[in-house]
Structure 1
Amino acid sequence: MLLGLLGMFLLGSFLVTYCIIPKIIKVVFHKKLLDEPNIRSSHKRVTPTLGGVAFFITIILSFFFLKKWDEDIISLNLMVSLTVLFIIGLKDDLVALSATTKSIAQILAITFLVCDNNLLIESLGGFLGITELNYWFYLFFIYFSIFFIINSFNLIDGIDGLASSVGITIFTFFAVIFYFLEQNYYFFLCMVIVGTLLAFLTYNLSEKKKIFMGDTGSMIIGFLIAVLALKILSYQKEIGSIGVLPENLPIIITSIISIPILDTIRVFIIRTVNKKSFFIADRNHVHHIFIDRGFTHKKTTFFIVIINMIITLIIYLLSMRFNSFILLLFFVLLSMVFYLAIFYLLKKNESNDLKKKR
């Protein structure tokens, strides 16, 4: 029964998205609502950039089929929040908006979600010795986490296939956790998003029918990543069913979302050191560095997704044996090792290319 429903939501969302996107592409070309390449762009041709419209339609439709399992009665809040993000994201894709305007809209979307205490987190399960959460700290934590993850995910949407592939990886890990927690609503929702992203990926990697998710898509997916991550965090008492110490749950979730989080922190540090505004785009992201060294979009995406999976699996295995202090240290060291290895290999590849040219 569960397997059949899984297939229904996965295949259903794939087909709906797959059928909607060509219609969006047709309208975008007719109205000339195309993304023009610029100095930061990794593409050379004008490309439709409203793939996120298909995300919104598919996910909103899915809530009507998911309501049977919605014990938290969170669907309505999610629909309102996603609508706010859809409107502001669509506006930004058509007419670039200021960072302030987008930030206000994101905060408003978060407010609609938390107003009914749908993401109530009472404890961090002993993470770094933290147990009970003060209500005001809890509110700050919720707002900051969702806001940060929305914008972090937006920043990795720079090359073909990367954001959707990382999203598929993240929601698949989330789905596994929700399955073992017996939270069918969130499990099926993850499958809907995976199906949606898989359908989008087929177009995003296509040469003839290429489309980008745009800010509309990246904000919707980033928001859902944040919401589902925090929802998992609220199941501190039940997490023992997958063999994880409750205090290690925050680190496991962070490892699953490690690619957007680590890249954002790294870029923030670089811009701070160079005294540049964080809101001015550049080509310092890891995926841009891969591309600038001659890697294809597909190879870059493959390497980054594999790194994400390896970090997550290693942290999960270590979480069964070590406390949160030691696990956090492992996570930091592991992240540093991977980043140093990446830059060493890229530098070596660049040196080899220079030798060949000589």
Structure 2
Amino acid sequence: MLFTKLFLNLLSFSLAFSIVIITIPAILRVARAKKLFDPFDDRKIHSQTVPPLGGVGIFLGFILSTIIASDGYAFSSLKYIIAAVILMFFTGLKDDLVAISARKKFVIQLFAAIILVTLGEVKITNLYGLLGFYEINFAFGTLISLFLMLAIINAFNLIDGIDGLASGLAIVASFFSGVWFFIAGYMPYAIMSFALCGSLAGFFLFNVFGHRNKLFMGDTGSLVVGIIIAILVIKFNEFNAVSNVPFAIDAAPTVSFAVVIVPLIDTLRVIVIRILRKKSPFSPDTNHIHHRLLVLFPNHLTVTLIIISANIFLIGTALFFNHLSFNVNMQFLLIFLIGVAFSFIPSKLVARLQIKEKMQLTLLRSKSAS
């Protein structure tokens, strides 16, 4: 029995990985033939034309491997999950090819989230004492669930700024979720997690090490990845609320927040900065964490690994806090504050570097004048 479960999860990962590796070269050929490239603007930090259609491979790898590997398990929510993912896929694909307004994109995201909450049973029903709430009613749970889904979807959409970052963070999130679902006995969601992990691993190779065969995940990928991660986060919280579940995590909201803390904190941070500067919260800029780190370390892979390492550290810290078993509100607050502190470190270092460079320039000018 254990061998079968291991086999199905390995099948899910390896099949998804293989599908992405096989399909991406074909996607690249089509993109080049039709000249489907990511346009340049002031915020772009790549210096070559790159197709933004990696999400097509991720979508195919995830959908096919999840359906094949989970066959034989009772997975009533799967049809609604697939429906929501398909909505995100076509929304992202249209945005990558011909652009779509932010309002229309938001409405479709909301519709997909409503399908999951009302029909797919992907909904928060317990807050573990967070802010004094334990079991919550249908209306409150629905609102929180919709908010979480929309926040996570758009956070992954916004964090997709440098090679390997969005996919790397999602690999960490899906791998962590897959391991917990597996040891806790929730095989359909473990299979789904490893399907996403395998798809992202295949894409990561092309995105980071592709050189001539490089491509971005685009909105197609970030929206698909965002909604799947949102589903995994919510189900992780719900399954941990069951009293007799093995390997239960008492402070599941804190741990799940740590899993997605980087894109969420980064999104919150840039929105606050934009508002303080009297700009639209949705106006593009270069204030993301990865933009600041690129000033210090002008290499995409280095910056990606730094941010992923910080994410893993925060997950480990949350698990350690859970082991200490102190108040869940204090755990959540501490993880939030540590995450916020981490997010501002690059900006502070860049500011110091700029001050140092200005002082050196002033000194050189004074020497040349004398």
TM-score over 0.5 (shorter chain): yes
Aligned to 1:212: 216
Distance 1:34 1:233, change over 3 A: same
- Distance, in Å, in 1 between the alignment partners of 2:85 and 2:294 is 32
- Distance, in Å, in 2 between the alignment partners of 1:116 and 1:4 is 30
* Other structure's SS at 2:168 match: helix
* 1:114 Cα deviation from its structure 2 partner: 2.3
* 1:134 Cα deviation from its structure 2 partner: 1.9
- Distance, in Å, in 2 between the alignment partners of 1:73 and 1:94 is 33
- Distance, in Å, in 1 between the alignment partners of 2:244 and 2:131 is 17
Aligned residues: 356
Distance 1:93 1:318, change over 3 A: same
1:64-143 pair list within 5 angstroms: 64-68=67-71, 70-143=73-146
Distance 1:258 1:69, change over 3 A: farther
AA matched with 1:220 = V
Aligned to 2:316: 313
- Distance, in Å, in 2 between the alignment partners of 1:98 and 1:9 is 35
* Other structure's SS at 2:340 match: helix
* 1:355 Cα deviation from its structure 2 partner: 7.4
Which segment is superposed worse, 236-245 or 28-37? 236-245
Aligned to 2:328: 324
Distance 1:312 1:239, change over 3 A: farther
Structure 1 contact 293–346 (Cα < 8 Å) conserved: yes
Distance 1:340 1:271, change over 3 A: closer
Aligned to 2:367: none
AA matched with 1:119 = V
Aligned match of 1:257 in 251, 257, 260? 260
TM-score by length of 1: 0.94
* 1:356 Cα deviation from its structure 2 partner: 7.7
Which segment is superposed worse, 218-227 or 326-335? 326-335
Aligned to 2:19: 16
Aligned to 1:237: 242
TM-score by length of 2: 0.91
Aligned match of 1:303 in 298, 303, 306? 306
Distance 1:31 1:346, change over 3 A: same
After superposition, what is the alpha-carbon deviation per residue over 1:175-195, rounded to whole angstroms, capped at 9, x for unaligned?
A: 122122211111111111111
- Distance, in Å, in 2 between the alignment partners of 1:274 and 1:239 is 50
Aligned match of 2:185 in 164, 182, 187? 182
5+ long unaligned stretches in structure 2: 365-370
**Does residue 287 of structure 1 match 2:276?**
no
After superposition, what is the alpha-carbon deviation per residue over 1:41-71, rounded to whole angstroms, capped at 9, x for unaligned?
A: 1101111111111112122212321443543
Which segment is superposed worse, 4-13 or 344-353? 344-353
* Other structure's SS at 1:276 match: coil
* 1:331 Cα deviation from its structure 2 partner: 1.1
AA matched with 1:237 = V
Quote the sequence identity (%): 31
Aligned match of 2:28 in 9, 13, 25? 25
Structure 1 contact 99–279 (Cα < 8 Å) conserved: no
After superposition, what is the alpha-carbon deviation per residue over 1:303-334, rounded to whole angstroms, capped at 9, x for unaligned?
A: 00000000110111111221112212321332
- Greater C-alpha radius of gyration: 2
- Distance, in Å, in 1 between the alignment partners of 2:192 and 2:167 is 16
Which segment is superposed worse, 234-243 or 346-355? 346-355
Aligned to 2:204: 201
Structure 1 contact 181–238 (Cα < 8 Å) conserved: no
Which segment is superposed worse, 108-117 or 15-24? 108-117
Structure 1 contact 90–215 (Cα < 8 Å) conserved: yes
**Does residue 267 of structure 1 match 2:263?**
no
* 1:300 Cα deviation from its structure 2 partner: 0.5
Distance 1:243 1:105, change over 3 A: closer
* 1:220 Cα deviation from its structure 2 partner: 0.1
Distance 1:145 1:336, change over 3 A: closer
AA matched with 1:207 = H
